[in-house]
Amino acid sequence: MKRIIILALTTLVLFSTAVTAEVSHVSINQRLFELGEYPKLKLNIVSSHTNPNKVQYFLRQSIGEERLVSSPLTNFLVLVTGVDDVVDSEAVLVVKEHKINRWREVTVLSLFGDNPVKSLPTTAYAEPAPLPAKVDEKANSGAKELLSARTAAIAANLEDNCRIDFNGTETLWRIGVRQSKVWGINTYGAMLAIYEANPEAFKNNNINGLKSDASLGCPSVAILDKYADARTAEKLFDTMY
């Protein structure tokens, strides 16, 4: 009976481990670039995920954030690369995994110092500080004027850029990074706005299925405003990926 109980417990533990697949270790094996060059890294990784798409890598620096492309080299070694030059000496690598229907941050590694790091550098996509619950009329009037000015600026940019440049090889992430600077919103918001404004440009309505021959039109101001909050836009994007 004792042996049967031990066997049952062992089976339960193995089953639970299989169900709760996760990344248990990530570290930088070799940094193959210097400050001012595009990111290229070899990473040590211990993961029970069978699908490599369940793990994502991001370069985060003061000028913004870029999702990196990963290529497995061995079962415990992966190569990650990007296209944006690393110009921030405090830049970090952010590793996320998909677990229980959501993305969670596994670790944050410093690219030019000891890692992991405890604090993240300020980025262009940092969530703005919340407004106080009560504001006086003067402050409220100023906020409305600022919003109107922002909306007018976006509208002007949309008039100048009614079509989105796309050469057929860029990823949606790359386009989103570029257009976010044009429209003055976060990268995730830009990608979601492009997706909503151009449903026919994506295979099977999949946000990851941007067609190489797609013709992309600019989203309206109303669509852009829907995704103006960076944190909300990122969460929505993660559920669609």
Res 125 pLDDT > 50: no
How high is the mean pLDDT of the chain?
A: 78
Is the pLDDT assigned to residue 34 strictly greater than 70?
A: yes
- Residues 42-68 pLDDT 10s: 999 988 888 878 899 999 998 888 899
Is 106 or 154 the better-scoring residue by pLDDT? 106
Mean pLDDT of 18-47: 84
pLDDT, average across residues 170-184: 90
More confident residue, 193 or 19: 193
Please give the domain boundaries of the chain with CATH numbers for all domains.
20-110 (2.60.40), 137-240 (no CATH)
pLDDT band at 31 (very low <50, low <70, confident <90, very high): very high
**What pLDDT does residue 41 have?**
94
Q: pLDDT digits over 64-81, tens only? A: 888 999 988 998 899 999
Average pLDDT over residues 30-49: 90
Q: So what's the pLDDT on residue 1? A: 55
Looking at per-residue confidence, does 100 or 199 come out higher?
Answer: 199
Structure tokens at 157: 């940019």
pLDDT value of residue 59: 92
**Arithmetic mean of pLDDT, 150-167:** 63
